[in-house]
Amino acid sequence: MNRTILPNTELSVSRACLGTMTWGEQNTEREAHAQLDCAVAHGVNFIDTAEMYPVPPRAETQGRTERFLGTWLARQPRDRLVIASKVAGPGRRDWLRGGRTALVRANIREACEGSLERLRTDYLDLFQIHWPGRNVPMFGQTEFDPTKEGEAASIPEQVEAMAELIAAGKIRYWGLSNETSWGVMAFVRAADDLGLPRPVTIQNCYNLIARRFDGDLAEVCFRERVSLLAYSPLAGGHLSGKYVGGARPAGARFTLFPQFAPRYARPNVAEAVAAYAALARSRGLAPAALALAWQRTRWAVASTIVGATSVAQLEQNLGAFAIELDAATLAEVEAIHVRYPSPAA
Query: Would you name the residues annotated as active-site residues?
Result: 53
Residue 241 contacts residue 46 (beta carbons within 8 Å) = no
Distances (CA, A) of 198 to 53, 63, 72, 143, 173: 26, 27, 31, 27, 8
Q: Is 303 helix (H, G, I), strand (E, B) or coil?
A: strand
Identify the CA nearest to 303 among candidates 20, 17, 83, 9: 17
How far apart CA 341 and CA 334 sit, in angstroms, is 9
Question: What is the H or E stretch that residue 306 is in?
Answer: strand 301-306
How far apart CA 336 and CA 334 sit, in angstroms, is 5
Distances (CA, A) of 341 to 272, 325, 333: 9, 21, 11
How far apart CA 201 and CA 194 sit, in angstroms, is 19
What's the DSSP call for residue 98?
Answer: G
How far apart CA 178 and CA 212 sit, in angstroms, is 11
Identify the CA nearest to 264 among candidates 239, 288, 228: 239
Q: Which amino acid is at 248?
A: R
What's the DSSP call for residue 240?
Answer: G
How far apart CA 239 and CA 10 sit, in angstroms, is 33
How far apart CA 186 and CA 105 sit, in angstroms, is 17
